[in-house]
Amino acid sequence: MRVGFIGMGKMGLPMAANILKAGHTLIVHDIDQGAASSLLEQGATWADTPREVAEASEVVMTSLPGPTEVEAVALGHDGILSGIQEGAIYADMSTGSATILRHIHARFEARKAFVLDAPVSGGIIGAEQGTLAVMVGGSQEAYERAKPLFETIGKGVTHVGEIGTGTVAKLVHNAISMTTRIVVQEGLVLAVKAGVDPNTMLEVLLNASFGKQLILTNHIPEIIFTGDFDHPRFSLSLSHKDVGLALDLAKELDVPMALIEMADQRIQEGMDRGWGDQDNMVTVRLQEEAAGVEVRVNEARS
């Protein structure tokens, strides 16, 4: 397949290299030609503009710093749109804006070309090893055609839904991931100040439900997706007690716990609603009410 790749940064370069290693014809572009030198030595072809990349490619991929750069490369002077072929695919691998990708999609659709938003997760090591998670939004037809390319750079390729949904999934994943990391940091610091060896605390986390990721494998599909809050695995009232005791310990030791205090406030809201005897996941109802949407599926996942 003739593949164009624009953006030879820390993520783009190894992704493009894996596409080239897989035997595809590669056309590359970057604001700095030197950034692509290793690929050019391996047989890739240089293009002076994004337009030239698009003119020579069946699929054009970009890995760029953010939404501003994506929009400029896709729609700007000598951009991808000006050279895209009918039936060709533009897949943006950056982490950006679902709104902008939908705007770009509309412009490309008028040219009878396809757009996929396909942000990745897994960092530089994942990009080098070809083990990235790839979250793809766009038409099923375009996804199926581009999937072999995605599989050269990632081991976890998911078609999330229509255009923009890949970006939504990536942003939600990163927001959850980073917030969880900060909560873990708060708790780990408290444990150490209270006299627990950090390696031992890590072992406890790994062996308990948090480390086993039960929230993902059990609690979300079996409780939130079904709305089964009336059969508690661990009640909200017990969660209220335990988090409160942890915060009491933090106050004794003068350890700030900003995010855990916010979680305690949310738990208290649920208690005030009379949900103490329900499963602690019932607090999702507060978020659902605020957003005007329910997180349910028609059938429980097996």
Report the chain's terminal Cα–Cα distance, integer Å. Answer: 38
Residue type, 202: L
Q: Please, are residues 121 and 154 in contact by the beta-carbon 8 Å criterion?
A: no
Helices (H), the chain: 12-21, 37-41, 50-55, 67-75, 80-83, 98-110, 123-129, 140-153, 165-193, 198-207, 214, 236-252, 258-272, 284-291
Name the token pair of 138: 């766009």
SS3 state at 96: coil
CA distance 62 to 28: 10
SS3 state at 284: helix
Q: Please, are residues 47 and 53 in contact by the beta-carbon 8 Å criterion?
A: yes
Q: Please, are residues 137 and 94 in contact by the beta-carbon 8 Å criterion?
A: no
For 215, residues 6+ apart whose C-beta sits below 8 A from its C-beta are: 209
CA distance 258 to 239: 17
CA distance 104 to 85: 15
Name the token pair of 10: 């820390």
**At 282, which helix (H) or strand (E)?**
none
Cite the active site residues: 170
CA distance 213 to 207: 10
DSSP 215: I
